[in-house]
């Protein structure tokens, strides 16, 4: 039966339930303790910087091992896969950096690939830490990128997923500390809940901000940091490289020379050697090696021509056979069977009868004019086996004897029989052989020489040659720094630099005028002037003091000396090596390397120095102009009063000096009448400016000219000896002598081909004259044009223009990137001021009045 | 606050009367500044704070002290009343031993939904309408013999409360959106049988008990919108006053479990409701409760409620819907899942992770999970085992038929029937291969009992939203396999399966798709070999020193799917297993432990890994 009386059931159960309740409580009382929630299996990661670093390493190691496992077993999980993304970026980045490194020529650029890569990753990691985490930590007391270890032992970011926050890994104490830092009211009823919500909100905002800014921050910061690193790297890297080059030269020199001392090979250098060498370089077997080696090492053939003829004539078998076969006549085959058979029995008993038959058969068929040769040809043609026996390929005995009829000597003999000596000689030569043993020995020596010494030494020399290009970088760097100092010294404003950048040097105009104005401005102000000179002096001193110049010249000297030594010392080796061969080796080793190359590389730093001196000269000239000293002195030298010089003349003097001092380039010097140095040009100028000077010049030397020349040369000092007064004099003397030699050359009847100017005289003749006019110092005055160029230095005008361009670009870049970075940092920091506002914060209630609570009202 | 804190005015002293308990307090619970529903901040007297903070003066938990202080007064006068178990009288000599069954892996579950369990869909459209007979407690009785025959000894009855009608899901309303937790849905009453729905429910339970079947009732974790509007003091609100809704379920609202979460002071009203719920269940005759979304309430809460239920019925069984440890909850508004703390609070069995077995494609994944559950046992302080259910099909998951058809369902049946530490579990319909595909999915039904005409269906899952057809499919062979395995499990091999050691054998030419383990108890040994792959055959060799070449092997499972080939050699067993095929042989294998690479034994009443 169903008890469907609801009320009854309720009534009955009332007492039951009350009793039950009581029993429940009694049981509760008996329970020793109550269940509550389990502690979290995960925990927050709290690490100091050292531990963080260790963790980073172990985490990366784990990632690598996970990746390895994934490759092997194909197994992974979402967490490990997610982390592999980072690992992939790092590995991929390293590979790209390494690949790019390989493509870069200079150490600087190679290093920058590594720095670029590491900086990018560092900024990527540091940006949120510094721009976001740190301000949050300082302001709100927690790290929005706080990590925790989850129940599976995986390290994760706590706020990674804003909807999945395992709050129980935080202790109440830690939350309270954050709440205190956030100044959450102590009397808030849901203080902990409110704090968590605030943390969640802030972390979400932080993460959003991070995502918004990271894409800009990483490239911006990387470029700024790398820009600084690159600048900072240049000098130390260049210096380290220079030192390395110096060391390399010294090492290579030692090695090459010490190996050359051990070389004990004699021979002679000729075309054959070059041919062998060229083939070896290509990795090919030289053609006609035997002949070429025999040429180089003078290996004689085993059999002399004369001997051969004699031996052929004395050759028992051949002579005998010849006599039997051509008994009475030398022109047809005619023999006694018995004689031939006897002979055959001795030499080829097995086939004697048969051969006799064959030869008999041949009697009528052999062209009598061809003699023995004819027989051989006939036999070859007609009889295979037996014929072979006769001509040396048949029976064993016959073969051992070289055959009854040795083709070669038969042919020779046949020719001899016709008394053709020349042909006989040719045959003899063909038959003679080189001493193979000697040939092999020499070939071996040569090969070992090539493999063990020539090849590596040559590679070393090429390496060195490449190394030398580093000098370019050093001087390039120095040049920039010097020019920058100068432009800065003149005090160009950003605006002026922009104008300079925009102006066209070729059109004259702005830049020349601007520079003149600036020079005047500095020259007129003693303090500024002294300061500028001091700065330039400091730079000049630096070039020497810091060793660039010294080290550079040391290197070029060392290189030159190495080239010389390699070339020279080989010829002087003590062990009797053949001079010609050694010299050939020297040529090969230094092939393509010239002292001039080294000199011009070394000259770059000289060019920097010269340019610097021209900067200083420009300032000094302007100072003299502005102080009036120049004109006074000019007048004085010319024996005039300063007042006698008209304004027009003054302007002419000043402008000309300015032009020569700092506006002229080496090209001007070479092309616009300065070829013989300043002196003549100045003379011409002076004559233009002061007609009287021209008059005086008619009598030969004008005192005006002389005096003014001196002054001009001093004021427009350009550090090029060939352009000095002394250089002028030497040049004049040289030209005089050279024209003399020119006449002499064309007057000589032996010289069929006439020349049109002295420059076409033989090199030796010109060098001899140069040495004579300079007292043996030709190299100081007669330099290659690139060295002269370096000595001349760059035109101040052009240097300033270039530098202005560079500075403008640098400043523009810095303005854009620096500005963007500042804006980004500002945006990032300022926006954080608005963070942390909890939605519906007003709904979090204050605690009730404590008294009320406790009183239980 | 104007709120009356006098404990006497909270209707604790009243016996459960769903319509009379609340009204007296309603005015006090009404929010002050809004007309209908809004958060109410209680100023709870300190005597009524439920907390487990230790009380040093008394030496007992202040939670208990407070509870007693809050409730004890009313009990003093009835100390002498003796309990009379009226239900026991009505259902013969039924002795509830569900707790013991659950803890000793003896329960064999079937989850049933009374409103569809024996519905008569005469027109074949799967929807019960136009006068068709719905499922109810009385016609459900007709199916009990069938379930009994399957070997089922425990029913998990999905919620039986009247569903909420507002913002509802489906035309009948979701089973998990109760409008009144303390009432049986009148729709479950058979119109042709006298009595109330409660009476019919009791009758149904009695019939179960007569057949030796225990019955658990599903306790919804949340409440319907209708309920929430009536009982704001029980509900949880967002700071802005919005109802707290669990992510993905718009038709239900969350309870407010804490009065003060920081101090972990429980909500006395909610405790009271659940105490009454237990009372109701026990009054109706249920043997246990299945707690839906166990994590929705804290361990302290369950500790009280479970203890309370056990104080009255020491063998009252509890099944927790709890799966695996979560660092944090992926579901909005829902706390994280921590099975261990719930088991510590008194639950006897739990869901575990077998519902994702279709994602474990390797034998080692299954073995590892079983080992994890064995390791978990050590954390339970009372030393008693807490086996999970074999949740390879549940009402929350897609029909296993969709993964691998009948062979796969038989595979899971055999596996869960032979695994250690498991209460086999099925959802009604699985026994005949129901795909749970309903033709009316998302259609607009002309008739509805809720505020929607849309026939909500979660594709491939048993319908809990509409009056739908009786569950069932076209694969009766599954039922035969279930019958075979569950009877085998309950009969001759009960000790081997529930207390036997577990010895995992590594196949030669290590093949992780081949499952091979033996269960041994005394001199009885069962060898289980199976192919986890549902598409492809798998071969392997097992090195077992006790196998003889001429040995006859008798498969204890019923044949299904493709045929497997198994060959005995001296010291080894060669297997060529068909897709989804699993076999059980009784073998004589005294050396099985040494042949195994992973061994767990039943020591002192619970499993321990020994190798």
Give the pLDDT confidence of A487-508 residue by residue, as tens digits. 888 888 888 888 888 776 555 5
The half-sphere exposure of B410 on its side-chain side, counting CA atoms within 13 A, is 30
Q: Looking at residue A152, what is its pLDDT? A: 87
Under an 8 A CB cutoff, do A6 and B196 touch? Answer: yes
Under an 8 A CB cutoff, do B202 and A856 touch? Answer: no
Nearest Cα residue to B521 out of B419, B584, B602, B424: B602
Of A41-45, A101-105, B372-376, the one with minimum mean pLDDT is A101-105
* Per-residue pLDDT band at A239 (split at 50, 70, 90): confident
Return the higher-pLDDT residue of A6 and B121: B121
Answer whether A41 touches B (CB < 8 Å).
Answer: yes
Q: Kindly tell me the burial class for residue B416, based on how many C-beta atoms sit within 10 Å of its own C-beta (0-12, 13-18, 19 or more).
A: buried
Q: Looking at residue A56, what is its pLDDT? A: 85
Tally C-beta pairs within 8 A across A and B: 163
Pairing, β B214-219 against β B223-224: unpaired
Q: Looking at residue A5, what is its pLDDT? A: 42
Tell me which residue in B61, B78, B240 faces A34 most closely, judged by beta carbons: B61
Structure tokens at A332: 């047809």
Under an 8 A CB cutoff, do A11 and B15 touch? Answer: yes
Q: What is the DSSP letter of A184?
A: -
Q: Looking at residue B69, what is its pLDDT? A: 46
Nearest Cα residue to A480 out of A799, A708, A18: A799
Nearest Cα residue to B188 out of B122, B127, B118: B118
Distance of CA A105 to the CA centre of its chain: 3
Answer whether B325 touches A (CB < 8 Å).
Answer: yes
Dihedral of the CA atoms B473, B476, B481, B484 (nearest 10)? Answer: 130
Q: Looking at residue A198, what is its pLDDT? A: 94
Q: Looking at residue A680, what is its pLDDT? A: 58
Answer whether B81 touches A (CB < 8 Å).
Answer: yes
Q: How many residues does chain B have?
A: 611
| pLDDT at A313 exceeding the cut of 50 | no
Q: Looking at residue B557, what is its pLDDT? A: 96
| pLDDT at A298 exceeding the cut of 80 | no
Tell me which residue in A31, A150, A190 faces B327 most closely, judged by beta carbons: A150
Under an 8 A CB cutoff, do A37 and B298 touch? Answer: yes
d(CA B262, CA A172): 9
Answer whether A190 touches B (CB < 8 Å).
Answer: yes
| pLDDT at A551 exceeding the cut of 70 | no
CB atoms within 10 A of CB A477: 18
Cα distances from A743 to residues A501, A735, A755, A771, in angstroms, run 53, 12, 9, 20
> Which residues lie across from B252 on neighbouring strands?
B224
Q: Interior CA angle at B417 toward B413 and B419, to 5°? A: 115
Answer whether A30 touches B (CB < 8 Å).
Answer: no
Under an 8 A CB cutoff, do A10 and B47 touch? Answer: no
Tokens 């223009």 correspond to A801
> Which residues lie across from B56 on neighbouring strands?
none
Answer whether B90 touches A (CB < 8 Å).
Answer: yes
Under an 8 A CB cutoff, do A167 and B328 touch? Answer: yes
Contacts of B83 in chain A (CB under 8 A): 16, 19-20
Contacts of A151 in chain B (CB under 8 A): 325, 327
Residue A92 contacts by C-beta under 8 Å, 6 or more apart in sequence?
Answer: none
Q: Looking at residue A53, what is its pLDDT? A: 87
d(CA B575, CA A308): 92
Answer whether A77 touches B (CB < 8 Å).
Answer: no
Nearest Cα residue to A69 out of A80, A58, A59, A78: A80
> Which residues lie across from B601 on neighbouring strands?
B608
Q: Looking at residue A641, what is its pLDDT? A: 79
Return the higher-pLDDT residue of A563 and A478: A478
Q: Per-residue pLDDT tens for A671-695?
A: 554 444 455 566 666 667 766 665 6
Nearest Cα residue to A186 out of A816, A756, A716, A850: A850
Under an 8 A CB cutoff, do A845 and B41 touch? Answer: yes
Answer whether A75 touches B (CB < 8 Å).
Answer: no
Phi/psi at B112 (nearest 5 deg)?
A: -130, 155
Return the higher-pLDDT residue of A581 and A748: A748
CA B509 to chain A, closest CA, distance in angstroms equals 16
Q: Per-residue pLDDT tens for A782-815?
A: 776 767 777 777 888 888 888 888 888 888 888 9
Nearest Cα residue to B528 out of B478, B571, B476, B493: B493
Alpha carbon distance, N-terminus to C-terminus of chain A: 51
Under an 8 A CB cutoff, do B262 and A16 touch? Answer: no
d(CA A721, CA A706): 19
| pLDDT at A476 exceeding the cut of 50 | yes
Q: Looking at residue A508, what is its pLDDT? A: 54
Task: Report the residue of chain A nearest B45, measured CA to CA.
Answer: A856
What one-character-per-residue DSSP string does B552-586 give? Answer: ---B-SPP-SSPPEEEEETTEEEEEEPTT-EEEEE
Q: What is the average per-residue pLDDT within A158-170?
A: 91
d(CA A217, CA A215): 6
Q: Per-residue pLDDT tens for A175-195?
A: 999 999 999 988 888 888 899
CA B264 to chain A, closest CA, distance in angstroms equals 9
Tokens 């080793």 correspond to A589
Task: Report the residue of chain B nearest A171, measured CA to CA.
Answer: B262
Under an 8 A CB cutoff, do B68 and A14 touch? Answer: no
Under an 8 A CB cutoff, do B81 and A16 touch? Answer: yes
Q: Give the largest CA-CA distance in chain A.
A: 167
Q: Per-residue pLDDT tens for A612-648?
A: 888 888 888 889 888 888 888 878 877 777 787 888 8
Under an 8 A CB cutoff, do A1 and B90 touch? Answer: yes
Output helix, strand, coil percentages for chain A, rounded to the nearest 5. Answer: 75, 0, 25
> Which residues lie across from B427 on neighbouring strands?
B111
Task: Report the residue of chain B nearest A18, measured CA to CA.
Answer: B75
Answer whether B124 touches A (CB < 8 Å).
Answer: no
Of A20-29, A754-763, A766-775, the one with minimum mean pLDDT is A20-29
Under an 8 A CB cutoff, do B45 and A169 touch? Answer: no
Find out whether B145 and B211 touch, Cβ atoms under 8 Å.
yes
* Per-residue pLDDT band at A340 (split at 50, 70, 90): confident
Q: Which of A37, A186, A197 to mutate to test the interface with B (most CBs of B within 10 A)?
A: A37
Phi/psi at B139 (nearest 5 deg)?
A: -75, -20
Contacts of A176 in chain B (CB under 8 A): none
Under an 8 A CB cutoff, do A17 and B340 touch? Answer: no
Mean pLDDT (chain A) is 74
Contacts of B265 in chain A (CB under 8 A): none
Under an 8 A CB cutoff, do B71 and A21 touch? Answer: yes
Under an 8 A CB cutoff, do A857 and B17 touch? Answer: no
Q: How large a percentage of chain A has pLDDT more than 70?
A: 63
Task: Report the residue of chain B nearest A161, measured CA to CA.
Answer: B330
Tell me which residue in A27, A191, A848 faces B43 most closely, judged by beta carbons: A848
* Per-residue pLDDT band at A82 (split at 50, 70, 90): confident
Structure tokens at A629: 């000293």
Interface ipTM: 0.77
d(CA B10, CA B7): 5
Q: Looking at residue A673, what is its pLDDT? A: 43
Q: Looking at residue B50, what is its pLDDT? A: 40
d(CA A600, CA A787): 6
d(CA A478, CA A475): 5
Q: Looking at residue A243, what is its pLDDT? A: 77
CA B238 to chain A, closest CA, distance in angstroms equals 10
What one-character-per-residue DSSP string does A512-525 give? Answer: HHHHHHHHHHHHH-
Q: How many helices (H) and strands (E) does chain B have?
A: 17, 21
Return the higher-pLDDT residue of B524 and A563: B524
Under an 8 A CB cutoff, do A14 and B279 touch? Answer: no
Q: Looking at residue A388, what is its pLDDT? A: 59
The beta strand positions in A396-488, using DSSP E, are none
Q: What is the DSSP letter of B431?
A: G
Residues 171-230 of B with CB under 8 A from A: 194-196, 198-200, 202-203
Nearest Cα residue to B109 out of B505, B395, B308, B381: B395
Contacts of A35 in chain B (CB under 8 A): 52, 299-300, 302-303, 341, 344-346
Answer whether A698 touches B (CB < 8 Å).
Answer: no
Q: Looking at residue B61, what is its pLDDT? A: 43
Q: Looking at residue A128, what is its pLDDT? A: 94
- Taking 50 as the pLDDT cut, the residues of chain B under it are 1-62, 64-65, 68-90
Under an 8 A CB cutoff, do B200 and A27 touch? Answer: no
Q: Which of B239, B277, B338 to mutate to test the interface with A (most CBs of A within 10 A)?
A: B239
Find out whether B433 and B474 touch, Cβ atoms under 8 Å.
yes
Q: Looking at residue A693, what is its pLDDT? A: 62
């Amino acid at each position: 039966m169903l008890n469907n009386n609801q009320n009854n059931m309720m009534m009955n159960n009332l007492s039951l339930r009350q009793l039950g309740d009581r029993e429940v409580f009694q049981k509760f009382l008996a329970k020793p303790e109550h269940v509550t929630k389990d502690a979290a299996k995960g925990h927050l990661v709290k690490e100091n910087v050292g531990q963080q670093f260790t963790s980073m390493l172990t985490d990366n190691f784990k990632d690598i091992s996970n990746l390895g496992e994934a490759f092997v077993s194909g197994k992974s999980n979402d967490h490990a896969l997610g982390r592999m993304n980072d690992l992939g970026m790092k590995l991929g980045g390293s590979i790209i950096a390494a690949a790019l490194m390989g493509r870069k020529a200079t150490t600087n650029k190679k290093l920058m690939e590594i720095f670029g890569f590491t900086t990018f990753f560092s900024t990527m990691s540091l940006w949120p830490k510094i721009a976001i985490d740190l301000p949050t930590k300082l302001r709100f007391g927690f790290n929005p990128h706080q990590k925790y270890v989850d129940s599976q032992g995986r390290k994760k970011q706590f706020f990674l997923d804003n909807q999945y926050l395992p709050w129980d890994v935080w202790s109440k104490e830690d939350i309270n500390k954050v709440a205190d830092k956030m100044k959450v009211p102590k009397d808030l009823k849901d203080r902990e809940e409110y704090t968590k919500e605030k943390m969640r909100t802030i972390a979400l905002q932080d993460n959003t901000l991070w995502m918004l800014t990271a894409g800009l921050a990483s490239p911006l910061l990387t470029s700024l940091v790398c820009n600084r690193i690159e600048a900072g790297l240049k000098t130390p890297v260049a210096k380290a490289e220079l030192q390395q080059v110096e060391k390399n030269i010294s090492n290579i020199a030692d090695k090459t020379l010490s190996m050359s001392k051990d070389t004990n090979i004699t021979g002679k250098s000729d075309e054959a050697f070059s041919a062998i060498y060229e083939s070896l370089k290509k990795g090919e077997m030289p053609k006609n090696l035997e002949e070429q080696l025999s040429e180089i090492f003078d290996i004689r053939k085993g059999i002399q021509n004369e001997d051969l003829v004699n031996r052929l004539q004395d050759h028992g078998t051949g002579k005998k056979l010849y006599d039997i076969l051509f008994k009475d006549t030398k022109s047809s085959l005619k023999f006694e069977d018995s004689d031939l058979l006897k002979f055959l029995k001795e030499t080829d008993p097995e086939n004697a009868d048969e051969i006799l038959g064959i030869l008999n058969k041949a009697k009528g068929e052999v062209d009598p004019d061809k003699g023995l040769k004819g027989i051989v040809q006939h036999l070859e043609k007609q009889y295979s086996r037996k014929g072979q026996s006769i001509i040396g390929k048949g029976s064993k005995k016959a073969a051992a004897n070289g055959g009854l009829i040795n083709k070669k000597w038969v042919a020779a003999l046949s020719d001899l029989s016709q008394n053709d000596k020349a042909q006989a000689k040719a045959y003899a030569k063909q038959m003679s052989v080189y001493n193979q043993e000697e040939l092999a020995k020499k070939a071996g020596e040569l090969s070992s020489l090539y493999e063990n010494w020539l090849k590596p030494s040559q590679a070393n020399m090429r390496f060195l040659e490449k190394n030398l290009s580093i000098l370019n970088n050093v001087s390039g760097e120095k040049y920039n720094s010097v020019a920058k100092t100068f432009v800065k010294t003149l005090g160009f404003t950003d605006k002026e630099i922009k104008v300079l950048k925009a102006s066209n040097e070729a059109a004259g105009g702005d830049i020349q005028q601007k520079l003149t104005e600036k020079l005047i401005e500095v020259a007129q102000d003693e303090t500024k002037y002294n300061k500028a000179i001091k700065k330039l002096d400091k730079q000049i001193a630096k070039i020497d003091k810091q060793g660039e110049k010294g080290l550079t010249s040391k290197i070029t000297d060392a290189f030159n000396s190495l080239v010389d030594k390699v070339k020279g010392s080989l010829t002087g080796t003590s062990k009797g090596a053949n001079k010609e061969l050694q010299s050939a080796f020297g040529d090969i080793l230094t092939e393509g390397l010239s002292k001039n190359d080294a000199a011009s590389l070394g000259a770059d730093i000289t060019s920097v120095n010269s340019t610097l001196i021209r900067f200083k000269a420009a300032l000094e000239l302007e100072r003299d102009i502005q102080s009036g000293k120049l004109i006074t002195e000019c007048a004085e030298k010319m024996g005039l009063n300063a007042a006698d010089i008209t304004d027009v003349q003054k302007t002419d003097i000043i402008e000309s000096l300015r032009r020569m001092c700092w506006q002229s380039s080496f090209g001007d010097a070479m092309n616009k009448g300065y070829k013989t140095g300043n002196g003549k040009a100045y003379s011409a100028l002076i004559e233009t400016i002061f007609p009287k000077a021209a008059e005086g010049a008619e009598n030969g030397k004008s005192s005006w000219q002389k005096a003014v020349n001196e002054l001009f040369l001093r004021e427009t000092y350009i550090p090029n000896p060939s352009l000095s007064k002394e250089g002028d004099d030497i040049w004049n003397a040289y030209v005089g002598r050279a024209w003399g030699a020119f006449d002499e050359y064309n007057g000589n009847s032996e010289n069929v081909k006439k020349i049109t100017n002295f420059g076409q005289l033989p090199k030796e003749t010109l060098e001899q004259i140069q040495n004579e006019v300079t007292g043996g110092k030709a190299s100081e005055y007669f330099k290659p044009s690139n060295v002269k160029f370096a000595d001349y230095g760059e035109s101040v005008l052009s240097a300033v223009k270039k530098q202005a361009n560079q500075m403008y670009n640098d400043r523009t870049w810095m303005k854009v990137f620096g500005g963007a970075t500042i804006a980004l940092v500002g945006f990032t920091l300022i926006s954080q001021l608005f963070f942390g506002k909890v939605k519906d914060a007003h709904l979090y209630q204050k605690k009730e009045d404590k008294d009320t609570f406790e009183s239980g009202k | 606050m104007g709120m009356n804190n006098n404990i006497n005015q909270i209707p604790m002293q009243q016996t459960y009367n769903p319509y009379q308990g609340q009204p007296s307090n309603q005015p006090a619970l009404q929010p002050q500044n809004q007309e209908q529903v809004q958060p109410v901040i209680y100023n709870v007297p300190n005597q009524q704070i439920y907390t487990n903070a230790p009380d040093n003066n008394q030496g007992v938990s202040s939670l208990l002290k407070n509870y007693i202080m809050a409730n004890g007064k009313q009990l003093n006068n009835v100390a002498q009343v003796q309990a009379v178990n009226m239900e026991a009288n009505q259902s013969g000599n039924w002795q509830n031993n569900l707790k013991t069954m659950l803890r000793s892996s003896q329960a064999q579950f079937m989850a049933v939904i009374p409103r569809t369990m024996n519905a008569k869909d005469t027109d074949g459209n799967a929807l019960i309408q136009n006068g068709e007979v719905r499922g109810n407690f009385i016609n459900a009785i007709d199916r009990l013999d069938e379930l009994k025959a399957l070997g089922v000894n425990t029913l998990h009855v999905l919620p039986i409360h009247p569903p909420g009608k507002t913002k509802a899901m489906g035309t009948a309303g979701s089973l998990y959106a109760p409008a009144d937790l303390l009432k049986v849905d009148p729709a479950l009453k058979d119109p042709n049988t006298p009595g109330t729905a409660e009476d019919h429910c009791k009758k149904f339970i009695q019939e179960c008990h007569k057949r030796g079947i225990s019955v658990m009732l599903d306790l919804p974790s949340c409440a319907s919108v209708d309920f929430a509007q009536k009982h704001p003091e029980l509900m949880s609100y967002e700071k802005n006053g919005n109802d707290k809704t669990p992510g993905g379920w718009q038709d239900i609202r969350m309870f407010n479990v804490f009065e003060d979460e920081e101090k972990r002071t429980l909500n006395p009203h909610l405790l009271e409701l659940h105490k009454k719920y237990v009372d109701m269940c026990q009054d109706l005759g249920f043997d246990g409760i299945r707690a839906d979304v166990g994590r929705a309430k804290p361990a302290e809460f369950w500790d009280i409620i479970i203890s309370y239920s056990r104080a009255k019925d020491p063998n009252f069984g509890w099944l927790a819907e709890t799966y695996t440890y979560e660092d944090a909850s992926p579901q909005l508004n829902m706390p994280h899942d921590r099975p261990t703390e719930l088991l510590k609070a008194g639950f006897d069995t739990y869901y575990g992770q077998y519902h994702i077995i279709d994602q474990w494609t390797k034998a080692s994944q299954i073995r590892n999970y079983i080992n994890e559950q064995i390791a978990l046992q050590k954390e339970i302080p009372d030393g008693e085992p807490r086996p999970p259910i074999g949740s390879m099909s549940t009402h929350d998951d897609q029909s296993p038929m969709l993964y691998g058809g009948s062979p796969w369902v038989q595979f899971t049946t055999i596996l869960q029937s032979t695994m250690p530490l498991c209460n086999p579990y099925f959802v009604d319909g699985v026994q005949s291969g129901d795909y749970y595909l309903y033709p009316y999915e998302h259609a607009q039904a002309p008739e509805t009992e809720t505020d929607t005409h849309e026939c909500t269906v979660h594709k491939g899952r048993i319908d809990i939203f509409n009056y739908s057809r009786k569950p069932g499919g076209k694969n009766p062979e599954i039922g035969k396999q279930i019958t075979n395995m569950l009877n085998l499990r309950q009969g001759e091999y009960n000790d081997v399966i529930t207390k036997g050691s577990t010895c995992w054998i590594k196949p030669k030419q290590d093949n992780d798709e081949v499952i091979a383990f033996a269960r041994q108890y005394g001199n009885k040994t069962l060898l289980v070999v199976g192919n986890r792959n549902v598409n492809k055959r798998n071969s392997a060799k097992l090195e077992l020193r006790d196998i003889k070449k001429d040995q006859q092997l008798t498969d204890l499972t019923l044949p299904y799917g493709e045929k497997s080939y198994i060959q005995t050699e001296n010291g080894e067993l060669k297997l060529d297993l068909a897709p989804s095929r699993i076999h059980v042989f009784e073998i004589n294998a005294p050396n099985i432990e040494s042949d195994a690479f992973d061994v767990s034994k039943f020591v002192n009443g619970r499993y321990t890994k020994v190798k």
